[in-house]
Amino acid sequence: MEFALTSPKFSYGRPIPKEYTCDSKDISPPLVWKDPPVGTRSFALIMDDPDAPIGTWVHWVLYDIPADVRSLEEAVPGESTLPDGSRNGKNSWRRLGYGGPCPPRGTHRYFFRLYALDATLGLPSGAGKKEVIRAMKGHILGTAELMGTYSRHK
């Protein structure tokens, strides 16, 4: 078995449906994962766009997701702390929670990376990608990835 991240709404390398972008509802897509490594104590999720013209744009940072969680429902709220204890970090818009694809031009790739960790990070809500990456150092047991694309048709 392999640690894997999928979505019931799009497959790897395929377009992300419009409802999950700035051109529509701008809500997070549902995500599902399976077979995390033995010893997983928490998960962290980072979604970013390496094709942004000003460098990698961070769309979502979510961490301290409990080890027994295997999915995220559609439209995860942008609250600082979710009922299960998961914490939203800041995206490149300097807001908590999810911000959907909104490329200025062309087709961009959006990487959802889920990290299985041997610890909870314990960072306060609102940490950025760099802080989360730094806190994860030495604690990553495995990584699962889902990549979707999006292009705005004007």
List the CATH number of the domain containing 72.
3.90.280.10
pLDDT tens digits for 98-131? 999 999 999 999 999 999 999 999 999 999 999 9
CB atoms within 10 A of CB 130: 10
Query: In this structure, what token pair is assigned to residue 129?
Result: 């990608």
Burial 23-36 (b: 16+ CB within 10 A, else e): eeeebbbbbebeeb
Q: How many domains does the chain have?
A: 1
pTM beyond 0.95: the answer is yes
Q: Residue 78 — pLDDT band, cuts 50, 70, 90?
A: very high
Domain containing residue 37: 4-151
- CA 133, CA 115: separation in Å to the nearest integer? 10
